[in-house]
Every structure is written in C-alpha cells, then in structure tokens.
Structure 1
Amino acid sequence: MAQFEVFGDRKFPTAGLLLTSAGRDWSGVSAQLRNHAACDVPAPSPDEMEVTFAMTTSAGGRVERCSGGQFQDTAVRSGTLWFCPIGVREDAIRITRPLSNILHVFLAKSQFDSFAEMTSRTPSPANVAYLADVDDDLVRQLCLRMHRELSEETSGGKLLIECLSQALVAHLVTSYSGDAKATLGHDRVAIRLDDARLRRVLDYIHANIDQDLSLAKLSDVACLSKHHFARAFREATGVPPHRYISARRLDHAVSLLKGSQSSLADVAYLCRFSSQATFTRAFRRQVGMSPGEYRRRSAT
C-alpha cells in the first residue's frame, strides 16, 4: 500500500473506505472516497497536500477544525472544499454528524517540485493557504474527474491523473499561496508538436502500448516539458494524450481477443488495467459486451 493510503488510513482510522487508488500505480497523487462517522479525527502532520471534496450534501453535518489559532466551522454541502497544505498540523478536527461520499486527494511534495522546475520561482507547498469552504469550480471539476477515474478505471487513466494532478498543483500554487506570482515559462509562446516530433511520439506509443506510458516519458520523446506536451499533443491530434492511448489500448485488446489465446487476465494486464474486473467494465462500456462474449462471437 502506498504512503498516501497509509497516511489516509492513519488520519481516518474509523472512516469507511468506499474507493481507493491503491493498486492503480498513480504517480505522485492518491485518492480515497470515504464515509465518516461523527467523531474527533486524529490529526497527524501531513507529508502530502490534502484536498478534500464533499461529493454530496450531508444534512446537518459540519466539520470543525483548527490550526495555528485559525478556527473553521463549515457546513458540509455538495461541492464543499477544504485545503490542508504539507506540514500544517491541525490542532483539532471534529465531525459533528455522519458524512457520506467525501473525496480525499493527496498530492506528494514531488508534484510541487516538478512544478517548480517549470516556473520562474521555487514555490513552497507549505505556502498554500489552509482554507475551508473554498469556492473554486476548477478544483471541483478536477476532483470530479479524478473521482470518475477512481470509480471507472480506464486504460489511459494513469496518464490522465498525471495531467489532472499537474493542473491542480499549478492552480493551488498560483491561486492560493504566497508564491502566487510563480508563472510557467513560455506560456505566452505557442508550443507546437511539429510533424516529425508528433510521428516520433505516436510511433513510441504504438511500439510500447503494453508498457507504462507516463507523461514524463512521452514529453521526453517529444523534447517538451510535461506541462507543454499535454497541451501541444491535444492541439496536434484533437484529443488529449490519455484519450488517444485509451483508444489505442482498446484496439490492442480487440486484437488480442481475436488473434491470441491470452487469458482475459493477461489481456487486462497487457492493456494496463489494475484487474480483470476493471478491464471488463471498461470494455463493456466501449464495445457493449464483455471481453469474453466478444471473443466467442469473433471465433464464430
């Protein structure tokens, strides 16, 4: 179990775990969906930035928390957001009534270090503000998309989560910290994937479709930063990299089901799913039938 899940379990020992990214091989980010009983929550000093998002309204539910003399009392409504930065020790956390469907997103310090490499300054994750009841639709949308990947795994999900977490970190630093003046270099300059570099990236994807295709590896092939690569790839192809890879892996799964004797578990693994069950659900969503049924029909 990754350190993110260990921290979440340590902080919320009595909370029911509904969904977790454990086993998904996400890089530098983790997520858990939990139900919380009314209780006082132990408050370890976090080694990760925690963004908490209420997926649903909990009638009468409130979260009271305090850090460094700053007291916050927040009603739990659908869309409520809380931030707890790295190194901020909370003196007390109290949940007044049971809460349902609370998403916890944990961002590693390495995410902020990567952002620092792309900016004109060196932002500190500890400088992000300790806030409750944040009104920010961008953060809500990023959390909702992470939750969707958490509940319905896709073969390009790891790359998607990298892009989402990168966007979340950039937004937190530039909007909610003392490093708000940190800017991404060359943002005003159009960064494009020319035909040669695009072909190199596409050839790499096709040659390594059953391997781990991270944002860092693809941006290295394109000779661009991770930040600029995702944007340039979408402009060149019309789709974001995770969606392109998901489609190619579905094509790969179809080929394996038709032309090999590989077990369904092996096909799931070769298409980078964490389990046969998540592969089956994703395949059914796209094709309209299970992989086993598709193989049987293709054989007739």
Structure 2
Amino acid sequence: MRRRSERQWPGLRSVYCWSPPTGVVTVSGAQQIGVSFAEHHGVVTESGGRRHRFDIRPGDVFANGWSPVYWSEVTRPDELVEIYPGDELLRAAAGSSRTPEIEPLRGVRDAVVLGTASILKRAHLGLVHVDSIRVSELAHRLAEHVVGHYAGIAPPRRAVTGRLDRVLLDRVADVVEARLSDPLTVDDLAAAATLSPFHFARAFKASTGLAPHEYVTSLRMERAKSLLLTSRLSVPEIAYAVGLSNVSHFRRTFRRHTGFLPSDLRPSENRRIRSSSAAPRLTG
C-alpha cells in the first residue's frame, strides 16, 4: 500500500507519503524541512558528494538547502511529511531580498517543526480540516523558526510575545518523551517550563500550533505505531506502553490520528493491506 498527497497552501507546499519498503532510491527536493513519522535503522543519504548512514526515530526532523538529498536502504514502512516554505515567505522572515538557504539537518528533535508537520499530516489524511488562515499562521511561524535556527542568519527582531523559547520547548519535549508511558498532566509540563498551567498551555500552542494534550497524544500515537510495526506486543500491551489504560479509547484515538485501526498495522496484516484492492489511497 502506498499513499501520497501533495498540497499547495498559503506560503508553503507540503508532501505526505506512506509507503512500504521498495528498494527504490527516493529524493527530497531543495529547500525542505520535514519529519519522519517512522522508525528506521541503517538508512543511507547522499547529498553534495557526502554519504551518511544513521538510524531514525519517529518525530526526527530532517532538512536540506539547495542540494537535494537521495535516500536509500529504507527497509521498513516509511511515513513522512516534507514541507517546502515559499521563497517569498523565507525572505520576509529573514528581512532580506535574498532567499536564505536552509541548513542541512539530520535527526534533530524540534517541537515547532514536529507540531506543524503533525497538523499537516492529519490534513493530508483528511482527519482534520485546516483552513487557509490557520495554515498561513503555521507557515509564518515555521518560516520565522527555520530562519532563526536553521538558516545561519539572525532574523529581524520582532516583538514576539506569548511563545516559549527553544530552550523551554526542548525541555518540555524531553519530559514528554521520557514519560510517554506515564500519566501526564499540564501541570507536569508547565513545571518543566516554570510557568503556570494556564500561561504554559497558551504559550505552548502559540509556539507549536498544538495544545499540550494534542502534542502528547500525537507522540503517543507515533510511539504506538512504531511498536505495532516492529514489536510482538499485543494491542493492549502497546496501549499501556503509551500511557493509555483503556484499550477501546486507545483504538479510537489511534484511528483518529493515523487513519488506521491498530490491527491494520500488525506485521501479519501488512500483506493483506498491501494486496487489498480496497486499500485507501490519497490523491494530490
């Protein structure tokens, strides 16, 4: 089964892809920043005459500038979102007449990029409706973030209030990843950011595009997806492993976030899904 969707939004273009391992070399185009939603071992990339082999965790961020990146030796099902910010948007964020080049990234953890990619992924899958105003907000926030952190230049100073800085976002993200199997409250996350729960919740959504509970749930479902594809754990065991004790609620939440039932992704079921003529497909 292969799903691919390409969307043009205000200020950016995004590509979503879910595909089984095919042995075919794939390419990420110029000036993209994206997220892998799949776990991989020993993936190989080549760009600008350089070759790298590395592992990928679900949620890892990758980017490249003007040189495309070629991917090979992908041996597991792959799911990704690539985001191509428009040149005009990047120039505006940089306050420059020249388009800044995005710095090559490999396996970075970044809550802002992950939040944006998670929203776009669900829009590609038809699981949420995202209107042009919200996408425009996401695009501007992402461009400012990319230029400020991954373009090698300092963007013009703007009075950006009500957002968390990168240090606090990374601290909160570390707490979430370390405690995905535990009950988590907004108080726990607010404490990591040294803010009140009310101010933290508002600032976190302003920074990532996701409310704290949406961010935590998204990471839990990605962890569950990885376990379904790579482990022999039962569905109830996986639900408990990602902090959910109600298996029925887990199944509903998983389908709402991924478009699949947990049983659809069990290795023993993959052949049936791939061979089924009724398998869903996305069109660009």
TM-score, normalized by length of structure 1?
A: 0.46
> More relative contact order in 1 or in 2 (CA 8 Å, sep 6+)?
2
Decide which structure has the larger Cα Rg and report it. Answer: 1
